[in-house]
Amino acid sequence: MKAAVGDRIVIASNHVDGAVRTGRIVEVRHPDGTPPYVVEWSTGETAVVFPGPDARIESAEAPAD
């Protein structure tokens, strides 16, 4: 998994109908874009995140038309 500052992280719930957490990556600690990441969650909290298999990264870059 690789990310850049500004990308969005989405973490699915382990439970059926559980909440999905979303946040914005505000710091990448390794130059190659690998975890851990500092994430600002939609709740306003900030945390260091080591994403698991239930996480995905959505690029902040707009798709090319």
Within-domain flag for 63: no
Contact of 7 with 56, CB cutoff 8 Å:
no
Residue 63 binned pLDDT confidence (cut-offs 50, 70, 90): low
Within-domain flag for 12: yes
Within-domain flag for 3: no
Within-domain flag for 29: yes
Handedness of CA 8, 2, 30, 63 (dihedral sign): negative
Within-domain flag for 65: no
Domain extent for 42: 8-58
Task: Please give the Cα distance from 53 to 64 (Å, whole number).
Answer: 28
Task: Please give the Cα distance from 11 to 37 (Å, whole number).
Answer: 13
Within-domain flag for 39: yes
How many domains does one find in the chain?
A: 1
The pLDDT tens digits for 5-50 are 999 999 988 777 788 899 999 999 999 999 999 999 999 999 999 9
Within-domain flag for 31: yes
Within-domain flag for 17: yes
Whether residue 59 has pLDDT greater than 70: yes
Beta bridge partners of 25: 39
